[in-house]
Amino acid sequence: MASTTTSLEQLSVDTIRLLSVDMVQKANSGHPGLPLGAAPMAYVLWSRFLRFNPQDPKWPNRDRFVLSAGHGSALLYSLLHLYGYDLTMDELKQFRQAGARTPGHPESNVTPGVEVTTGPLGQGFANGVGMAMAEAHLAATYNKPGHEGIQDHYTYSIVSDGDLMEGVASEAASLAGHLQLGKLIYLYDDNNISLDGPTSLAYTEDAMKRFDAYGWHTQHVADGNNLDEIEAAIKAAQEVKDKPSIIAVKTIIGFGSPLAGTSKSHGSPLGPDNVKKTKEFYGWDPEATFVVPDEVYEHLRAPGQQGAELQKEWDAKFQQYEQEFKAEADQFHVSFNGDLPEGWDKDLPVYTPADGELATRQASGKALVAIKKAVPFMFGGSADLASSNEMDKSGDDSFQPGHYERSNIWFGVREHAMGGIMNGIAHHAGLRTYGGTFLTFSDYMRGAIRLTALAESASTFVFTHDSIGLGEDGPTHQPIEQIVSLRTLPNVVVLRPGDANETTEAWRIAMNTPKSPVCLILSRQKLPIFDQSTMGSAREGVAKGAYILSEADGGTPKLILIATGSEVSLALASQKALQEEGIATRVVSMPSWELFEHQDKAYKEQVLPPSVRKRVTIEAGSPIGWAKYATDEGTSISMNRFGESAPAEHLFEEFGFTVENVVKTAHTVLQEQPAEEDKKQVVS
């Protein structure tokens, strides 16, 4: 196809390129190669296809664009600035500097117009799949005859060789192909170069054949500088309604620079001399920096102005929709505002000891059933462990091709992709998302959880089989270090409830936590239900992270037992034995360190008085971090080795999670004083 690129279009492409180069060079840090090579495809997408309104970056029916190759962030910031978003030239000049809205990799809660936080390769790929799933589900939910455009948008992404190498992308691509997500279109920056050198050193597969096998529609564009060929390929992709699409666009990394086609242009500034030579290649003044011709501004602001008109049309149509479908419109507003239906939690289950023992995973399943009835925009599922996670496993409500209106996602055995997809669903807006697997497999999805936390996004991760209580499956499946590992992540709320009522409250907290992911840590084995008529209230206590579950005889404790999860019932049984010996013992249930640390000093000292330093913490997991609550005069009963294959009862006895060992440990704590050196180590 002969190119009909105009001089203004070429000038615009080159402006995008050189603005990005200047950003990287001024910062003396960044990745200039991708913007130089990929600017043409970005221009075609943003100028000829993408529907967006820079004045309202959160317009619900906008197209979504994800820069999965987030190392090329300078490209995205150039696009946002030139196409009219609230990102000034001064911000571009502060690229990668403290406090600027132009961080080294795109962050959705920092920069207007950035849809999702990307950078670790493969994550953005999975995020885009989640956004396309959200669009498909919302379209099936809200679009009605005569009102087909309430949710009707595409999800686009620019992906790199590195994205396609990462396993998370393969997991997500497999699911996207199965789901036949026809409104998902990816542009693959096929430049044969990665950070260390040519991709041929490690990556020689025919990637498009792999995507053919996944069920994707694949195309090749031989010349990444040919705008019309790129446009034709995107149009062809849009015509395929039952497959996601990926277009391999052959580019030259660092195009126009002396370092073109080499890994030297990937992750380092070009250098002052090479920047000048690059500008000379494009016919620009080599001494001028951060130049945007007026005609380029005018040309590139036009798509955003058209998008504003599209939004006005959509607003008018939505007003008509509200007249005919008031309930659906009201739900749409509530969900996209990040709110919950009034009274959504009134039917959450409450238990008494008469209900018998219940595993917290079972209580979680019952709470989720109640929530989904009251909050119809819940959208999530399990990584092929629904029967274990106590989620819907019948398949009758499964989100599938032809049934996008259904809300239960079968993620398959794809934990890492599940986390990335959940992040994309959450960032799309209009839905609340959750996903379940075994706690030990949280290791597989840690990268996605970390990005969810960094982006201040809300997702609920349901992790069951939380300890050696898993039993016979053995140490490969018994989590030891995972709970404390999750607790180390900033902006993550970890909740390990001790009974069914605490589990209900954990879900209430998860639903009311708008800017943090919540991890629910749940037991496989059944646990007794605490008698709230004689003990502390889970409703008030769990929300504060820790509370006095059972007070010491006489109200003044000599010893405090602090426990989480299944070990709380062990603490209660141990309290009884200790108090029969005349040792006044308080039991504190501490389902969440993070929530407890957010309480004021008065409350924390009420629960854990500084004057009572004889304490024993009990958790069937790593001891790391518990010393803070045990103090230098206490200790922890915990796990510092892997478990083994045996029934749970045997394992709890073997590893000291018994009343006898708790009582023995308490006696040791009450009788011994720490050595001065030990005190120093604890304090430090």
Lookup: tokens for 88: 């000034």
Q: Catalytic site residue 107?
A: no
Cα-Cα end-to-end distance for the chain: 70
Asked if 189 and 259 count as a contact pair (C-beta separation under 8 A), the reply is no
CA-to-CA distance for 529 and 577, rounded, in angstroms? 19
Q: Specify whether the CB–CB gap between 94 and 31 falls below 8 A.
A: no
Angstrom distances, CA of residue 225 to CA of 75, 122, 228, 231, 617? 16, 25, 9, 11, 63
- Alpha-carbon Rg for the chain in angstroms: 28
φ/ψ of 66, rounded to 5, equals -120, 125
**Cα distance between residue 459 and residue 442, in whole Å:** 14
Residue appearing with tokens 């132009």:
102
Residue pair 588/564 in contact (Cβ under 8 Å)? The answer is: no
Task: Work out whether strand 547-550 and strand 585-589 pair parallel, antiparallel, or are unpaired.
Answer: antiparallel
Residue 422, amino acid: M
- The DSSP call for residue 662 is H
Residues 6+ apart with CB under 8 A from 369: none
Instruction: Name the burial class of residue 349, with classes exposed (0-12), middle (13-18) and buried (19+) by CB atoms within 10 angstroms of its CB.
Output: middle
- Using an 8 Å Cβ cutoff, are 37 and 225 in contact? no
Q: Is 253 exposed, middle or buried (0-12, 13-18, 19+ CB in 10 A)?
A: buried
Q: Catalytic residue, from 135, 166, 415, 567: name it.
A: 415
Give the CA-trace dihedral at 473, 475, 476, 479, to 10 degrees: 100
Contacts 24+ apart (CB under 8 A), 306-315: 307/51, 307/52, 307/53, 307/54, 307/59, 307/62, 308/53, 308/54, 308/55, 308/56, 310/51, 310/53, 311/53, 311/56, 311/59, 311/61, 311/62, 314/59, 314/61, 314/149
Which residues are catalytic, by number? Answer: 415
